[in-house]
A and B are shown apart, each in its own frame.
Chain A
Amino acid sequence: DAGVIQSPRHEVTEMGQEVTLRCKPISGHNSLFWYRQTMMRGLELLIYFNNNVPIDDSGMPEDRFSAKMPNASFSTLKIQPSEPRDSAVYFCASFPGGTSQETQYFGPGTRLLVL
C-alpha cells in the first residue's frame, strides 16, 4: 500500500491567496483526520471525518478554513484567504476503524508558508 498521500508537499503563497491541500487516505480506512503542527502550538486536530461525514470540526481555527471529503478516497483542506499565521505543516491521517490494534497512519505532510 502507498500509505496516506498528500499534495502538494510544499506550498509557498502570498497572503490573501487561496490554498488547497489534498489528501488520499489508505484504501479501506473509514476515518480521516486533518492536523496542523507548529512550534508554538504543537500538533492540533483541525477536523475529522468518519465514512466521509465531518464528525468534529471544533479545531478549525476560523471561517477561512474549510474541509471536504467528497468520497472515501479524497479530502481537501482549503484556506481562503490565507494569512502568514497559517504557516505550518498540515498532516492528513487515516484510520481503519473498528476495535483492532490499529492506529492512525500519517501522511508526509504539506509544508505551507504564507508570505
Chain B
Amino acid sequence: ELKVEQNPLFLSMQEGKNYTIYCNYSTTSDRLYWYRQDPGKSLESLFVLLSNGAVKQEGRLMASLDTKARLSTLHITAAVHDLSATYFCAVDTRTWGGSEKLVFGKGTKLTVNP
C-alpha cells in the first residue's frame, strides 16, 4: 500500500523567510503533484512533476522530485502572507489503462506571519 508522508504538518514562518516542505512516499512512482487549499476552498493544482530530477517554479514556490529517494520538496522563498494555505503532495499510483489514482499526504498547514 502506497503511503505518502509530509512534514512538517504545521509550519509557522515569518514573512521574508525561506523554508522547505518535504514529501516522502513508500513505493515507486514517477508522477507527483502539489496542490494548494485555502480555508473553506477546493484544491488548486500547483505543480505536476513527471520524472526524476524534475523541477518546477512558480513565483516564490519551487518544487522538485527525486524518484530514487522517493522524495519531493516544495521550497518557499521569501514567504509572503498570501502563501498562507494548506499544501498537499499527491503521488500517482498509475495502473494499467492509464487511470490516475492519487494518494495524498496529510497536508502542511502554512501560516506566514507579518
> Quick one: given A108-B42, A109-B42, are A103 and B101 in contact (CB under 8 Å)?
no
Q: Which residues of B contact A34 (CB under 8 A)?
A: none
In the docked arrangement, what's the CA distance between A56 and B97, Å? 13
> Quick one: given A91-B42, A109-B42, are A104 and B99 in contact (CB under 8 Å)?
no
Is there contact, CB below 8 Å, between A48 and B101? yes
Which secondary structure characterizes the binding site on chain A? strand
In the docked arrangement, what's the CA distance between A63 and B11, Å? 38
| Stretch touching chain B among A14-22, A64-72, A73-81, A94-102 | A94-102
In the docked arrangement, what's the CA distance between A55 and B97, Å? 10
| Chain B interface bracket (under 10, 10 to 19, 20 to 34, 35 or more) | 20 to 34
CB distance from A50 to the nearest CB of B (A): 4
Q: Which residues of A contact B45 (CB under 8 A)?
A: 103-105
From the candidates B33, B41, B102, name the one contacting A45 in the complex (CB within 8 A).
B102
Is there contact, CB below 8 Å, between A56 and B33? no
From the candidates A31, A33, A55, A107, name the one contacting B42 in the complex (CB within 8 A).
A107
Which B residue sits closest to A44, measured CB to CB? Answer: B104
Q: Which residues of B contact A48 (CB under 8 A)?
A: 99, 101
Judge whether A42 is part of the interface by a CB distance below 8 angstroms: yes
Is there contact, CB below 8 Å, between A56 and B42? no
From the candidates A31, A42, A55, A103, name the one contacting B33 in the complex (CB within 8 A).
A103
In the docked arrangement, what's the CA distance between A97 and B41, Å? 25
Given A95-B100, A98-B98, 6 new contacts (CB under 8 A): A33-B101, A33-B102, A42-B106, A56-B101, A101-B50, A103-B45
- B residues with CB within 8 A of A: 33, 35, 41-45, 48, 50, 88, 95, 97-104, 106-107
Question: Sorted from nearest, which 6 A-B pairs have the closest CB atoms?
Answer: A103-B45, A106-B43, A43-B104, A50-B99, A106-B42, A42-B106
